[in-house]
């Protein structure tokens, strides 16, 4: 029983960072970032009106308006364009 608990705790410790939701900003050089225009085209295709995209520590921080007219703030990994759960990811 003790062995099972220890193994489960160890597995959770190792897998924890990999299972963390939301991803993170890129640590790659800016030359490896995907173009802002690519992200803007993707978001426009999803029905958003993009107001501004800025770079924040390896993330693209997006200010847009959705179909209902609601302002939205989103963050994407600048290298992979993976959407991040934390809209303020680049500011941390």
Three-class DSSP category at 10: helix
Mean pLDDT in consecutive groups of 10 residues from the start of the chain, 92 residues: 46 41 86 97 97 96 97 97 88 66
Angle at CA 69, nearest 5°, toward 25 and 56?
20
pLDDT of 34: 97
User: Which among 86, 60, 59 is positioned nearest to 50, based on CA atoms?
Assistant: 60
Q: Where are the domains of the chain?
A: 30-84
* 64 strand-pairing partners: 50, 72
Tell me, yes or no, if the pTM score tops 0.85: no
What pLDDT shows up at residue 90?
A: 74
Structural fold of domain 30-84: Nuclear Transport Factor 2; Chain: A, (3.10.450)
Residues whose CB is less than 8 angstroms from the CB of residue 57 and which lie 6 or more positions away in sequence, other chains included: 25, 90, 91
What is the per-residue pLDDT for 50?
98
């Amino acid at each position: 029983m003790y062995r099972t608990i220890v193994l489960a705790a160890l597995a959770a410790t190792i897998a924890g960072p990999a299972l963390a939701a939301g991803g993170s900003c890129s640590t790659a050089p800016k030359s490896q970032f995907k173009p802002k225009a690519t992200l803007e085209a993707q978001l426009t295709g999803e029905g958003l009106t993009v107001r501004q995209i800025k770079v924040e520590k390896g993330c693209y921080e997006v200010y847009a308006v959705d179909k209902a007219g609601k302002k939205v703030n989103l963050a994407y990994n600048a290298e992979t364009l993976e959407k991040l759960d934390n809209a303020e990811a680049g500011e941390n």
